[in-house]
Structure 1
Amino acid sequence: MNILQLNFENGWRGGERQTFLSMLQFREDGHTVHLLSRAGSEMGRRARDAGFVVHECGGAGGVMGFLIRHGRAYDILHVQTGHMLTWAVLTRWLHAAPVVYSRRVAFRLKGALTRFKYRHTDLVVAISDACANSVKAVGVDDVPVIADATLPVVTDHARMALMAEKLGLAGRKVVATTSALAADKDPLMLVDAISALKKQRDDFVFVHFGTGALQEEVRARVAALQLQDHFLFAGYQQNVEALFGLFDVFVMSSREEGLGSSVLDAFSARIPVASTSAGGLKELLAEERGLLSPPGDATALAQHISALLDKPEWAAGMVERAANYYEQHHRLDTMGRGYLALFDQLLNGRRRPHINPGSPLASPPVPA
């Protein structure tokens, strides 16, 4: 198959990592994979460095123009972001390529245009039951679920030692998260949870890996609660999962979450998890694979972190269940081949327009 991945995000978050991993697996299984991305994006840079053909556009007009001119060259348009879905659906009467969308968020869908584009997408795939239910609410009944995946975590002991020295972690229990400082991750509640934890004990340090729009507000909350010695900011770290061996407990504070692929990294690295039950997180951490508290409840989250720190033998059982679950359900080949099976079903059930072999549309375009 010729597969075009469409992702218009500028930075690098969970959705971009999943886009990139999908591309790697599809190529591993023998398919041609190109990327249509925002000009200058981190997504595009990483894909190009990995040897993929990348088509860059500056805005909606460029994306729609590319799809109108070249969309027919692809067997599947695999859309990974909401803006790209809008533009792929609005031009589908001209490019005629099947549109598959990976829905990675679970918030309520609103608006006539949103309902229109979901109902005119050939196939919507959700990464969790929570995401699937949000799509079914607008009248799309057939929403298969294919969970996100990650590569098995390989810790980097040299980097871990450097980071531990830089942050002064020696002799302290390390609680950490890897997430954007954004509203859906609720970092302000997380600061409150660490404040509540500090009132119970003084033997830990919390490290936040990531950046985002709320960074100054979060730093101000840390200062106001006098947590500077217990709440550390490590910023964005490429391949941050290689540092997971530093952690005693991994934390998620999200108020909204499609699934939570960083929790999968914790599962793979065998780190116990304390999390809110937002969206797909409650699916990942079900059956005692971690501890769940209500979104927004800082006190409950702090209590769960403390329990995991105090009872390592009890936590070890959760870690073992989580690691087994990861191996069975969240490996990259499982995810990739799940998508490829759906692509095959879609193409076998749909009659594609004939393209003359001599036409410039007969093969995917390669940038000059």
Structure 2
Amino acid sequence: MARLGSVEQVVITARHGELCARLVADGIPVRPVTWRAGLDPRAFVGVRRELARRTSGDPTVIHAHDSHGLALAAFALAVVARRGRGFPLVATRRVTFPVRPGSWWLRADRVIAVSAAVRDALVAAGTEGGKVTVVHSGLDLAPREKAGDSVLRRTLGLPDGTPLASCLAALTPEKDHRGLLDAAAMLKATEPSLHWVFIGDGPLRSTLERHTARVGLTDRVHFVGDRADGELLLEGSTVMTSSSTAEGFGTAVLAAMALGIPVVATRVGGLTQLLAGGAGLLVPPRDPGALADAVGRVLQEEVLRESLVRRGRLRAASFSAATMAAGTLAVYRSLVQPH
């Protein structure tokens, strides 16, 4: 957005968070606030003070990027409205989870959905179709060849050439890592050298580690937790997997595609659109057998693997950060410019 040069941005975010540090380093104006809980009242004060600097005549839009930010923004807008001032509220929705009746998502002036699947879920929940605009998530990832001696293998203490199946996702129920572990167990006999790496953390980690032991994969499955260098770790993968039962878009999958890593994913939500045209192998959700078969094919069939890499890179090129920023700016302008 900053590179477009036609909009002034101020980002309200947690004072000591990683996002704040990255924005400051990139020269993006930030209003840092103390924000330790989802609906931290100190964050609300920061939003209200930023709005107090604006007048209703300013072409100002407030944009919330998650449910907590949306609620805080809505509360702050209600306060300034009592003083005769108002600003349009935009919210970006990234998940296909059901929206409850009366939710703030239904009250925003415009909702940006990161995929058609997210849009359909919003409309099904009662959001007016005209209020929802699809702006796909995007990444700035220039295609490049993968390094042979990868950071990932060195991190895990594995020799060069060890086949690696990766998954970059929070360890939460909808990501269905248990199903992925079951698929890994099915491949143990036919792919004895295959290792699996789970990049990410979450409330199910201890449960999944116990399941890993039950299926006899403790020496093959590696939990590395949340990593700031997640993309760099992905780069060493032989195949990237996603076993989600619900997925708004699939930014981690997009990253793998741009890096030239073949993808096997479940046919859910935004992944269906993202991996269209043979950009990845799609399998039914909650079907470890189908997932195992697809991973095995990628490992064994060179022609298939090369096709997935080629088509994945071409597909990823259409989901750029520049396109995402331009689409978001178009939403802003539709709300502040006369029609």
Question: Structure 1-normalised TM-score?
Answer: 0.81
Report what 1:27 is aligned to.
Answer: 2
User: Is the Cα contact below 8 Å between 2:171 and 2:177 reproduced in 1?
Assistant: yes
Q: Aligned match of 2:202 in 187, 212, 218?
A: 212
Q: Aligned match of 1:42 in 5, 8, 18?
A: 18
TM-fit CA distance, 1:248: 1.2
Indicate how the Cα distance of structure 1 residues 162 and 68 shifts in structure 2: closer, same or farther if over 3 A, else same: closer
Indicate how the Cα distance of structure 1 residues 66 and 223 shifts in structure 2: closer, same or farther if over 3 A, else same: same
Report what 1:121 is aligned to.
Answer: 108
Q: Secondary structure at the match of 1:144?
A: strand
Distance 1:195 1:42 in 2: 36
1:145 to 2:115 alignment: no
Report % sequence identity: 26
Report what 1:246 is aligned to.
Answer: 236
Question: 1:123 is aligned with what amino acid?
Answer: R
1:348 to 2:322 alignment: no
TM-fit CA distance, 1:67: 3.0
Distance 2:143 2:262 in 1: 17
Report what 1:7 is aligned to.
Answer: none
Indicate how the Cα distance of structure 1 residues 266 and 166 shifts in structure 2: closer, same or farther if over 3 A, else same: closer
TM-fit CA distance, 1:107: 1.0
User: Is the Cα contact below 8 Å between 2:200 and 2:224 reproduced in 1?
Assistant: yes
Q: Secondary structure at the match of 1:85?
A: helix
Question: 2:233 is aligned with what amino acid?
Answer: L
TM-fit CA distance, 1:226: 1.3
Q: Secondary structure at the match of 1:213?
A: coil
User: Is the Cα contact below 8 Å between 1:156 and 1:242 reproduced in 2?
Assistant: no
Report what 1:323 is aligned to.
Answer: 313
Report what 1:79 is aligned to.
Answer: 64
Equivalent residues in 2 for 1:253-332 (5 A)? 253-327=243-317, 329-332=318-321
Structure 1: segments with no counterpart, 5+ residues: 1-25, 351-368
Report what 1:106 is aligned to.
Answer: 96
TM-fit CA distance, 1:82: 0.5
Report what 1:51 is aligned to.
Answer: 27
Deviations 1:127-184 (A, max 9, x none): 0011001111232212111110111157797895454234214342111111111222
Distance 2:164 2:222 in 1: 11
User: Is the Cα contact below 8 Å between 1:249 and 1:274 reproduced in 2?
Assistant: yes
Higher deviation after alignment, 302-311 or 26-35: 26-35
1:334 to 2:323 alignment: yes
Distance 1:264 1:62 in 2: 35
Q: Secondary structure at the match of 2:282?
A: strand
Equivalent residues in 2 for 1:164-175 (5 A)? 164-167=153-156, 168-175=158-165
Q: Aligned match of 2:123 in 131, 136, 161?
A: 136
Question: Structure 2-normalised TM-score?
Answer: 0.87
1:90 to 2:75 alignment: yes
Deviations 1:172-202 (A, max 9, x none): 2111111111222111111111111113321
Indicate how the Cα distance of structure 1 residues 349 and 312 shifts in structure 2: closer, same or farther if over 3 A, else same: farther
Q: Secondary structure at the match of 1:78?
A: strand
Question: 2:321 is aligned with what amino acid?
Answer: L
Q: Secondary structure at the match of 1:237?
A: coil
Question: 1:56 is aligned with what amino acid?
Answer: V
Question: 2:101 is aligned with what amino acid?
Answer: G
Q: Secondary structure at the match of 2:112?
A: strand
User: Is the Cα contact below 8 Å between 1:181 and 1:210 reproduced in 2?
Assistant: yes
Question: 2:201 is aligned with what amino acid?
Answer: T
Deviations 1:14-34 (A, max 9, x none): xxxxxxxxxxxx111223222
Count of residues paired in the alignment: 321
User: Is the Cα contact below 8 Å between 1:105 and 1:258 reproduced in 2?
Assistant: yes
Question: 1:27 is aligned with what amino acid?
Answer: A
